[in-house]
Amino acid sequence: MSASGTAAAGQVEHMLRQVTPGRYDAYEALLRALAEDSVWMLLWHGAAGSPDAQYGNMEVDGLGYAPCVTSAQELSASGWTRAHEVVTGHDIARALYPDRWGIWLNPHAPGGGVGIPWLDLRRIATGLDRMPAGPLRLSEPAVPLPQFYALLTQNAHRTAAVRSLRRTWVQPALGAPYLAIGLDLYDTSPASVESVQAMMRQSVTAVPDGLPVSTVAMSDEYDPVTMWLRANSRPFYDREAHAAPAAPAGGPGYGYPPPGPRGY
């Protein structure tokens, strides 16, 4: 390993020692180190690069994890006698999160190591600053914004790509809380996406200064906010219900902040 790689591995292991319950800042620093470094994935079957290679697996609190270690020294300390594969944190995140698998760092270590669930691997794969830091607290917005919702509903009705809208108040583990709008679209063609972006730009003019607003795609099956919205909310605007005699239902929603200074 290069000198820079050794330094990176040392940073991962240093941050791993800092992680304790409630230390979300230390956990975020660990994720950032992992995004820039490699891990030693433990292979249960096969050899690195072979078609039959298969990572080990473990289950904790109903979630699946692939065990790994953070350096050659930790590999030796673990006593692992089967094959292993060195993979960048970014690449292993991209490979595992779509199947809802996380990684477990140094399970042999005193205290049992630290698990990185698949939702956080998704953040590593797609950009830590693009998504809010979990765990997220989601609730129905308590701030009354009648002018904003009225304007947004009006603009949505004029935007053919919009099927429905949901809303929620998001409190990340780190960073400021914000209002999120869940967008359910008929299609995601470039023209449709552009029309929806214009709808949001026109509508947020009715939001009081200092209140952050973001959006999330209801079609994203991996987004924790989308999953929460599907399970816990109803649309506050529904084009198909709007066209029917019954009045549209109200409910909560949520979304990610746009790319910028603070994410997830």
Q: Among the CATH numbers 3.40.309.10, 3.40.50.300, 1.10.3720.10, 3.40.1350.90, which is that of 3-126? A: 3.40.1350.90
Shortest CA distance to 237 belongs to which of 151, 170, 140? Answer: 151
6 versus 163: which is more confidently predicted?
Answer: 163
Question: Does the pLDDT at position 250 exceed 60?
Answer: no
Buried b (16+ CB within 10 A) or exposed e, 30-40: bbbbbbebbbb
Q: Could you report the per-residue pLDDT of 71-86, keeping only the tens digit for each? A: 999 999 999 999 999 9
pLDDT value at residue 224: 93
Question: Does the pLDDT at position 90 exceed 70?
Answer: yes
Confidence at 49, pLDDT banded by 50, 70, 90: confident
Q: Among the CATH numbers 1.10.357, 3.40.50, 3.30.70, 3.30.300, which is that of 137-243? A: 3.30.300
Shortest CA distance to 108 belongs to which of 139, 67, 142? Answer: 67
Q: Could you report the per-residue pLDDT of 28-37, keeping only the tens digit for each? A: 999 999 999 9
pLDDT value at residue 254: 29
Question: Does the pLDDT at position 231 exceed 90?
Answer: yes
Cis amide linkage into residue 135, ω under 30° from 0? yes
pLDDT value at residue 44: 94
Q: Could you report the per-residue pLDDT of 96-122, keeping only the tens digit for each? A: 999 999 999 999 999 899 999 999 999
Question: Does the pLDDT at position 249 exceed 50?
Answer: no
pTM over 0.85, yes/no: no
184 versus 48: which is more confidently predicted?
Answer: 184
pLDDT value at residue 1: 37
Q: If DSSP codes are grouped into helix, strand and coil, which group holds residue 238?
A: strand
Domain boundaries, the chain: 3-126, 137-243
pLDDT value at residue 243: 63
Confidence at 9, pLDDT banded by 50, 70, 90: low
Question: Does the pLDDT at position 173 exceed 80?
Answer: yes
pLDDT value at residue 63: 94
Q: If you average pLDDT over residues 6-31, what whole number do you get?
A: 84
pLDDT value at residue 3: 38
Q: Could you report the per-residue pLDDT of 121-136, keeping only the tens digit for each? A: 999 999 998 899 989 9
Q: How many CB atoms lie within 10 A of CB 83?
A: 16
pLDDT value at residue 157: 96
Confidence at 262, pLDDT banded by 50, 70, 90: very low
pLDDT value at residue 46: 87
263 versus 133: which is more confidently predicted?
Answer: 133
Question: Does the pLDDT at position 206 exceed 50?
Answer: yes
The answer to whether the beta carbons of residues 217 and 185 sit under 8 Å apart is: yes
Q: For residue 252, give the amino acid letter.
A: P
